[in-house]
Structure 1
Amino acid sequence: MRAISIMLSAFGPYKDEQVIDFRELGDESIFLVTGPTGAGKTTIFDAICFALYGKASGSERDHDTFRSHFAEQNDKTAVSFTFQLKDTTYLIYRQPRQLKPKERGEGFREEPALAELYQVDNGEKHLIHSKIKDVNEKIEQMLGLDYDQFRKMIMIPQGEFRKLIAENSKEREEILQKIFRTYFYQDMTEALKTQTKKIKEQLQQTDWKVKQEISKIDWDDPTLVDTTAINSVLDALDHKLKNDQEKRKELTKKVTKEKQQLQSSQEAFYKGKQLADKFKEQEQLLKEKEKLDNRKIEIESTVTVLKWGEKANQLLPFEKQANDRLNEWQKQVNMLEEQKQTVAILEKEFKRLSENYQVQQAKEKEKQEEKLQLVEKKKQLEKLRHYTEISTNLEKTKNQYQEKDRIVKSINKDLEEKKTNLQAVEHLLSKQTEQTKAYYETEKELLYAEERYKKSLTLINEYHELEKLRKDYQQVKDHYVQVNQQLKEKRHAVQKIEEQQQTHHAYVLASHLHDGEACPVCGSETHPAKAEIETTAISEKAYKQEKTELQELEAAITKWQDKYIEAKSKGEAKRDVVENMAKEYQTIETLDRTNIEKLTYRCKEEKNLKQKVFNEIKEQYNKIEKAEAEKQKLTNETTKLTEQYEIQKTGLDKLKNEQVTLEAQLVQLRADIPEQPMTVEKWQEHIQKTEQALDNWFHMWQEQQEAWEESKQKLQESKTTFTSLEKFVTDLAEKKKQQESLFNQKVKEAGFTTIATFQEAKISEKQLEIMKHEIEQYNQSVQSVTERLQTLSEQLEGQVKPDLDLLQESINFYSNQLDSTNQSLHAISLQIKQHKQFQSNIKELAEEQEKHDKEYYDIAELADLARGDNHLKLSFERYVLSSFLEEILLQANIRMDQLTEHRYQLIRSNQVAKRGAQSGLDLEVMDQHTGQQRSVKTLSGGEGFKAALSLALGMADVVQAHAGGVQLETLFIDEGFGTLDELSLEQAIDCLKGLQQSNRILGIISHVPQLKEEIYAKLQIKPTPQGSFARFTF
């Protein structure tokens, strides 16, 4: 980060807007902030720190006190800081929380804090963030430093030099961690720790699972539940399984025996139950016989009713015939009338159909001829359809042949490519040793070429700076000569004016001299040679103006003389650097821009050529690495493609034969097919329409014929029916009369005195059947009961009624006994199955535990080592950070050596921290006077300042040197020089002046007079009753 400008408004002691542009420094990279105590020197640094982080630069300053006491109510307190980072310019604007007058009414309102971050391109601002949180995060991301780290590395305020070197190892770790971005190592350590924890949890879980499995086992010995020896558990479980299997065999035999006993009891029970059922049946039959005897009178009465009913029912046919003759006669009379009407209607319909029949009969011959023509057309259509079908199949076969031919050619092409690739791979494998050697040789040559190219770029950059210094030197020299010439001319002019003034004074004095009067200058009373030439007097104002300009030119010549000497010194130093670097390249004849650029171009071309060669060899090397697998892959693919080629080639030949066959069929069919003006579809559609029309006509003609025939037949039948009906009605009248006489005679013969008596005796067939069934059932029941009682009496003679309850108790006893034994057998079988599963689970868990034990041993040891649980108390990340710290101390000691006259050297402490604290980043000093190491906290105030300054500058050098690191091009120091003696101060100033070569801006606040004399550029702070003002002076 490089500061460009800072704007303050109503901030601290500054009432009016102050703009401090650091670009005014030009080549002066070191400036001194001077002014009385309380004028606002540290406020400048506070403003920069507040602009970036929203906080003051010192730990004792509060950002809520930034508002100026000189400010009016409407003045806005704000800071705007412009800085450059990696060739990009940014502007950050902040306002602290402040009270502002209300727009309406009296009183104040609190205006919240504000922060805005812009990117500046060609004078135009582009907003990046406008929220305080986002701005703060972006600044920390860009600078790579948080507020505390920024204060320690870039802005070292009053009283905090000691903290930079005296802070503990943990705080220094946080700074280095963020600067060098070593979070990866911390993440890796955490990952190892997490993995260790995970494996340990898996081990604990496996142990718990083993204990759970062991606790599930039904042990004979309870002490085995708490055992942790898995082998002992497995042995005991195996022994228990053998005992349980023996018990299962014994229980199986017992179940077989008890099943036989239960079966015998069940058979005895079934026999007893059959005998008891017979005794029960005998009792029920005796009761049923008593009921049948009681129904005997009722059944005899039913028999009488049945007798007269059957007689009456025998007369029913005669009654029915008499009624039927009557109904037939009446019905036929009605039908005769209806038939007469029907004959009249049919005669009219027959006449109409006969007329239409004769019209259609005339067209029948024409339609028959059309039908014959249609048959011929169908034959032609079938031939055309067959021809079309074969043509389609031929086209399809041709397409399939072309596609199959394409596939065969494609497979053949792939096969040839695979064979070629296989040969190339085999050829490549034959050069494996030669290629490996070439790879490492070209890699070495590439690294050398890259190093030469980097140095050539550094050389050309240094030469560009040398040219710039030469140009600056020439400009300073020209200006110096010009100012010197102006000074000479001005001195001559002033001398001439003084001589003219003297002549004029002499003339004025001579004009007042008279003979005999004493001269006021020499006392002579005679005046032989008085000044007689009158001259013009020069005004005192003009003379003072010329004198002032002369003094200004004398001051300017001093300034330009210093610049001339400084520019010459810088140029000579840079020339030495360029010449020393150029010595490495013996091909440079003349050290100029053209030759150096040619050298850089040659180095670049050489590097690119080496890179190209290396890439080609690396590509071949990588190919060889994969060649074995590629060879096997290509061999398999070649075999597979060969098989595919044979299969597809066979299919291709088959399609070719099909194509020849179809073409021959087409040639034969083409001769039998006449030329058709229409397609198959159109021709088929025409035939279908013609056929449909003919079908419709013949169907209609058939319907008309049938209708005519049917009408004719119906008419004839109707007339015949009418004649028959007339005769039939006459016959039915005679039959009716005869049937009525016969019925009356039969009623008398059956014993019925009147027709009414006959009607009363009639019983429906259903009722007759019910009576017959009832009587028959009664007789059967009497016979069945009698016969069954006789049989049971014979079977039960001498038998005793059995006790079924006693027999059931026997069955229950043996059944319960069998259930109990079966339960025991099931339980022991289930236990054996479970214990076998437990045995398998424990064995699997034992294998898993052994695996986790091995993983835990390796990972846990690695995790402990990474997090610093070792004899050095040094974590992996701290080990990496310690290497960075060593590099920082190497750079810091260059300045520490200069500042302490080779007495002190900063070193990293190798002592192991106490009480389990982490080590590796603590600092000590080597005192060359005593030859002993001691803590940096033992340094005096001045020595501590030197150490802190050296460490800060060394840290900035190392951070900037690392690619991708933060560019620390700005450093501010607030006090601390007052602790140095005169020699140390001179050494510190020389050290700081050396920073000018690195193009850094270094701002120093100090009241030390020697610094004011040594540092040319000054930021002068002038306090007034209206607030302080700041401006650069040189």
Structure 2
Amino acid sequence: MRPLQLTMQAFGPYINKTTIDFESLGIGSVYLITGDTGSGKTMIFDAIVFALYGTASGEGRSNDLLRSRSAGPDESTFVELLFEYHGKKYLVRRNPEYMRKSKRGTGETSEKASAELHFLDGRPSISGLVEVNNQLESIIGINKDQFTQIAMIAQGDFLKILRADTKERIETFSRIFNTKNYRILQEKIKSDCSVYDGEVKKLRDKIIQNCESITPAVDDESKLDYWLSLKNVDDISEIIELIDVAIAENKEELKINEEQNLLKDKSLQSLNEEIGRLENLLALKKDLENKKKDYANNLEAYNLLQKSYDAKKLLVPENDKKKLQIEKLQSFYPQYDELEQNNAEHAKNSKNLNDVIKALSIQKSNVEKLENEIKSFNDELLQLKDVDVDLVKIEHSIDQINKTNEEYIDLNKEYQSYRLIKIELAKAQADAEKAILASNVKSEEYNKKNTEFLKNQAGILAKNLKPGKSCPVCGSINHPKPATLTDSTISKEALEKLKNQSNEFEKKA
């Protein structure tokens, strides 16, 4: 922020309208204001701070003391500041609350505090204390306390920023130099590093776990001991390097084994061929032995059959005689077959008749039973004619009841949560109202006592004023309305204690 022009009227020691043209001082970023004590140096900075933030720069100067005590009742008190920020110009005008001559009648009335902000780039102006304060703080980027710590070296106030805690200094410089994006980037990098560290640890643990399940096929015991010891080291690259070496050695050994296996396969193939040839010879030998046994057995059977044939050949005449008897008996076969067939048909017919009668009786009984069952089924069918419709209605009613029950359970849960929140909110509101009320009481008490204390200080200084000698506060040699002592006897220590109490109540509120 670069001030361009400052105008004050009836503000502190500046009774008449006074304009300071900073542009005539050049484009430097540092201005030096010098002068005797009480000549109004600090009041210039108070005017700039009041224009930007609506309060004086120091803690000991309240807004009701900003109006010049020597100002006439018709003179208005105001401050105008033209400043430039990031290549854009702004004009802000403020006045504190003060008593002025009434426009009607002879009494006095209160002129309320007001503020206006004009944008010189064509945007519409805004007014109102809160609106102007928020807009100016948004434009400049720092609050009043930060501005007073960095914008002016005034009677040791700059030491406050040096004595501030680390958090407060970080916040102040971050807003001044707009390092928020860098802080976000730093936190993002830190978060990513934490994530990557976790992933690296997981991968390392997985590698170690896999290494524990590996036992390299090495003959050298010292190399095996070294391999086992690497499972406990932190440098994963050593383990990976040894694994690569072991893999290369295993590949070479595998290649040798494959060549040896190929030679063994060839030898095995020749051996299998020889075994096959021998097995064929053994099979032929066994087949020959079996055929020899079959020949011996067949020869023995042939001899037995020959003997049997010779014996039966002697019985041929007797057999011829029996053959004639058989032929005679066979001539009676047709008569016997016919008689047997007739007997069989008679028996069969008798049996079939009985079976038919019995079957008809059983069928009749079954028909009667079936008719009764059909009649009962038809009766039940008439009774159950509308059962499907009733069943659908009942199932629909059950679904509605279940749905209503679930809705009731959900609403009951929400109602119980609402009751708890309402009770907690009422309690919090009551506590907040009590704290705000106590804070307002303490704040009013402190403001009243502070004003009385400051007036007494002014009265003490005015008591020693002499005509023709300059005032240590405003530097004027004329003293038309010197301040007088009040009846208040509050000490600075009591005032400071009251201020601390007011701050404590304000924090609680």
TM over 0.5: no
Q: Which has the higher contact order (CA 8 A, sep 6+)?
A: 1
Largest Rg, 1 or 2: 1
Length-normalised TM-score, structure 2: 0.35
Higher helix share: 1
TM-score using structure 1 length = 0.18
